[in-house]
A = this chain, B = another copy of it.
Amino acid sequence: MAYSLDKIDLQLLEILQKDSNQTTKRIAEQLGMTTSPVFERIKKLEKEGYIKKYVAVLDNKKIGLKLTVFIGIALQGHTRSYLEKFVKEINNFPEIVECHRVSGNFDYLLKLVVEDIEAYETFIISKLTLLPYLGNVQSLITLSTGKETNEIDLSRI
Taking a contact as CB atoms under 8 Å apart, the answer to whether B104 and A65 are in contact is: no
A90 contacts the other chain (CB 8 A): yes
A79 contacts the other chain (CB 8 A): no
Query: What's the number of copies of this chain in the assembled complex?
Result: 2
In angstroms, Cα B50 to Cα A27, docked, is: 25
Enumerate the 8 nearest inter-chain pairs by beta-carbon distance, A residue then B residue, closest first: A94-B153, A16-B56, A102-B140, A21-B54, A99-B146, A104-B140, A87-B146, A99-B147
Can you pick out 15 interface pairs between chain A and chain B where the beta carbons lie within 8 Å of each other? A18-B53, A19-B55, A20-B56, A49-B62, A51-B58, A54-B57, A55-B150, A70-B109, A94-B155, A97-B148, A100-B146, A101-B144, A102-B142, A104-B141, A106-B140
